[in-house]
Chains A and B, each alone.
Chain A
Amino acid sequence: MRFVAAALAVLVMIGVADARTWRIRPGPNAEQELQTALIEARPGDTIRLARGRFEITTGLSLNVDRVTIQGEGEDRSILSFDNQRRGAEGLLVTSDRVLLRDFAVENARGDAIKVRDCDGIEFRGVRAEWTRGPNSNNGAYGLYPVNCTSVLIRDSIARGASDAGIYVGQSRNIIVRDNLAEYNVAGIEIENSYNADVFGNTATNNTGGILVFDLPGLPQQGGHSVRVFDNVITGNNTPNFAPAGNIVASVPSGTGVLIMANRDVHVFENEIGDNGTVNVLISAYRAEFQDPNYNPLPRNIMVRDNRFGRTGFAPAGDLAALSQIGLPMMPDVIWDGATLYSSSGTPRSENVRIVVRDNRSERAPNGVFLSLGLTVAGSPFTEAAPSMDFPPLLDLPEPERVEIDD
């Protein structure tokens, strides 16, 4: 028995000795030391970033599984890309089961932290920021996992992204919780993804607070099963500063939540207010598309038990005309009303179920709903046939809770 214990102890010691901790301090050699560690690390290693500013000139990259990069805090260990000369992102991760925690990436020339084709990525206490504030020359995405499975983004901060602060694209099994996204075009965006829980976040001072999108022509599409709950989505009135051509450039300033295409999206128990255009917008993808497998309609959408604050006081973009059509009250929830679309020239219809119930608003007991009555996806707004009648109260099964193993 004692032998077994001794043998076990030896094994444990080997295990500990095996996992190396790399310690990187700011200084003239820090960039080279850090990239060396990122290349030579073995699975299980930790790369510790000391307190201070690290001046990085070339995009960093990690392609080793089970590595942790850990700083002393998002306000203390800062990777600064003020003088970046090469690389399309600040940090690129392409390996599995990586943990990024307690450091910041500032002023990357392109995206801040991109994580591609991974199984298991966690951001915890990470900050991605463009420090000059909203500017169309800022990089597109702050925290940017794409084509990943098991994505956990928590207690993190994203500021100043010219597209989305926190952007999860073409991924599966996603938790985005307790983050702060502000002064981005889109605060948090879940795009072409399956099974996401987005909760406990604060999205404020963005152009649009939380976006759930599905786009055509991508390897993974048909986004579904997204729950957006218990978030604070207020004051998203920053003028849109996305470079034109990008889909988020069409998001009206003053949008709280925007659901475009997708199915089975439930928005509940959030605080959504002070968004100048609308608190919740449900819209079809409005541009032309050639992808025969794409469905541009949002369907099976539930908006319930939210607390709606002030809205509609400065409608912008495509919805600017809202203030001129003589509505008795500005709506909390707008649905474009699309139930038909054209796919490769063939008309298709869909039993679109949109349910808006049990919300609370200062202005109307149940909140205010508006359908634009644009039956065909992408019809011009001049063809709107607005109606303020709530759609039927149907039961829509809620997507299952997302669980991610440690």
Chain B
Amino acid sequence: MIRTLIAACAALLCAASGTAQAPAPVNDAAIMAARPPALLSAYRLFRDAGARDPNAQVTPYDLNTALYSDGALKFRYVYIPAGSQAQYSHEGVFEFPVGTVLVKTFAFAEDMRRPTENVRFLETRLLIRRASGWVALPYVWNAEQTEARLSVIGADVAVNFTNEEGQAMALDWAVPNVNQCSGCHARNGEVTPIGPSARNLNRDFAYASGEANQIGHWNRLGLLSSLPASASPRVPNAYDASAPLAQRARAYLDVNCAHCHNPEGPAHTSGLDLSWSQSDPALWGVLKRPVAAGRGSAGFEFSIEPGHPERSILVHRMQSTDPGVMMPELGRTLVDARGVALIQEWIAGMDAEGRSQ
């Protein structure tokens, strides 16, 4: 009897080690389940419990300019089911097929001056493309960093780290609830991704197989359809000093603000459009008077007063951490000092029409 058991166990172990060599693929059934799995591991997006090692067909990516989230590290991946493709477009976010998962893990290193050491994951957010549209699901990591659990109502996580300047920081990290997710990820009331547009993906990434342009790499993997021969648009890294200042500032506003402040976004009623594609300075705030800013106006008359960052409401709200004043409304508890400096420099150098000199 015991011998049989041992044999059975051995067989199981063999099977298990066999699995380790050719791991089970991403769990499409979990992705499409009406009731999402409670544990992140159920999706098999990663080969390891700690979610460092992506499974086959799970492709890492980065963005040229990213949303500021209290300086958190972000690890992004895309999974597109076999045989399906995202429809490329020059403008806006790609049209991803049903079954797509966009994965974004937020993390801090114990010492952010050494961002690859002692990295603690806080949460992994999944955006899943269902037939009925996108759903946003936040998974919160346990203290042991072995599992992340779905928390539709969000969570508060205390984080301590040393920042890039060597200061000790203590954060009360807010994992958004699903409504707060759609507070940013919304167009015309539908949940939608923000990051993966051609202009923001158009950069190199250090793949295991070597450095390559992300759009070219996705295309070689067969993840894209309708990729035209013409060159893809590109926004600069907001902090790449070799790029034109106005482009860097507009790239920053596009990623940090335009998910709400666009004509189809949650902040459309403000009339402020901070999208990269908006060419009218009046619509991106130059000499635009506040509508419903309340004390967010700080007594200033205009969103952007050319030459005067110190009197521009946009800068004031970026510099605030008061929930009734700050912009973005959610997603940070600190001030993005680098971002503020960038926007200040841009406004300071504007001519009266809001054009950069």
Contact = CB atoms under 8 A, between A and B. Distances in A.
B293 A140 contact: yes
A36 interface: yes
Contacts of A387: none
B269 to A, nearest CB: 5
A205 interface: no
Contact of A110 (B172, B180, B263, B323): B323
A401 interface: no
Contacts of A163: 292, 294
Contacts of A317: none
Given A110-B294, A243-B295, A287 B323 contact: no
Contacts of B174: 58, 86
Interface in A120-171: 136-141, 144, 146-147, 162-163, 167, 169-170
A40 interface: yes
A244 to B, nearest CB: 4
B287 interface: yes
A217 B330 contact: no
Interface string B313-348: 100000000111110011000000000000000000
B177 A35 contact: yes
> Which of A84, A88, A137, A146 is the most central at the interface, judged by chain B CB atoms within 10 Å of its CB?
A88
B161 interface: no
A245 B313 contact: yes
Contacts of A243: 293-299
B188 to A, nearest CB: 9
Interface stretch (A59-67, A260-268, A328-336, A364-372): A59-67
Given A169-B292, A245-B290, A39 B179 contact: yes
Contact of B329 (A85, A88, A245): A88
A94 interface: yes
A32 interface: yes
Given A94-B189, A170-B269, A246 B290 contact: yes
Contact of B294 (A59, A146, A162, A215): A162
Contacts of A117: 189, 266
A224 interface: no
A146 B292 contact: yes
A215 B290 CA distance: 10
B179 A217 contact: no
Contact of B269 (A36, A85, A116): A116
Contact count band on A = 35 or more
A109 interface: yes
Contacts of B298: 243, 245
Interface in A62-118: 62-63, 84-88, 92, 94, 108-111, 116-117
B300 to A, nearest CB: 5
Nearest to B282: A290
Contacts of A108: 324
B320 to A, nearest CB: 11
Contacts of B152: 36, 39-40
A162 B295 contact: yes
B95 to A, nearest CB: 23
Contact of A35 (B153, B270, B290, B301): B153
Interface in B277-311: 282-283, 287-302
Contacts of A136: 295
Contact of A219 (B182, B268, B295, B329): B268
Contacts of B287: 290
Contacts of A141: 292, 294
Contacts of B183: 61, 92
B352 to A, nearest CB: 13
A88 B323 contact: yes
Contacts of B300: 244-245
Contacts of B299: 243-245
A52 to B, nearest CB: 21
A245 B297 contact: yes
A159 to B, nearest CB: 16
B269 A218 contact: yes
A7 interface: no
Contacts of A140: 292-296
Contact of A109 (B271, B288, B322): B322
Nearest to A171: B269
A162 B296 CA distance: 11
Nearest to B188: A117
Nearest to B287: A290
B32 interface: no
Contacts of B297: 243-246
Contact of A62 (B179, B269, B290, B294): B179
A351 B324 CA distance: 43
A38 interface: yes
B178 interface: yes
Contacts of B322: 109
Contacts of B288: 217
A29 to B, nearest CB: 11
A219 B294 contact: no
A302 to B, nearest CB: 27
The 7 closest A-B pairs by CB, nearest first: A140-B294, A245-B297, A109-B324, A110-B324, A244-B299, A88-B329, A61-B179
26 contacts: A32-B153, A35-B177, A59-B323, A61-B179, A86-B323, A87-B330, A88-B323, A110-B294, A110-B323, A110-B324, A110-B325, A140-B295, A146-B269, A162-B294, A163-B292, A169-B269, A169-B292, A170-B269, A218-B271, A219-B269, A243-B295, A243-B298, A244-B299, A245-B293, A245-B299, A290-B282
Interface of B: 152-153, 172, 174, 177-180, 182-183, 189, 263, 266, 268-271, 282-283, 287-302, 313, 322-326, 329-330
Interface of A: 32, 35-36, 38-40, 58-59, 61-63, 84-88, 92, 94, 108-111, 116-117, 136-141, 144, 146-147, 162-163, 167, 169-170, 215, 217-219, 243-247, 287, 290-291
Given A94-B189, A140-B292, A244-B301, 9 more contacts: A58-B174, A88-B326, A109-B322, A140-B296, A170-B269, A217-B271, A243-B296, A243-B297, A246-B290
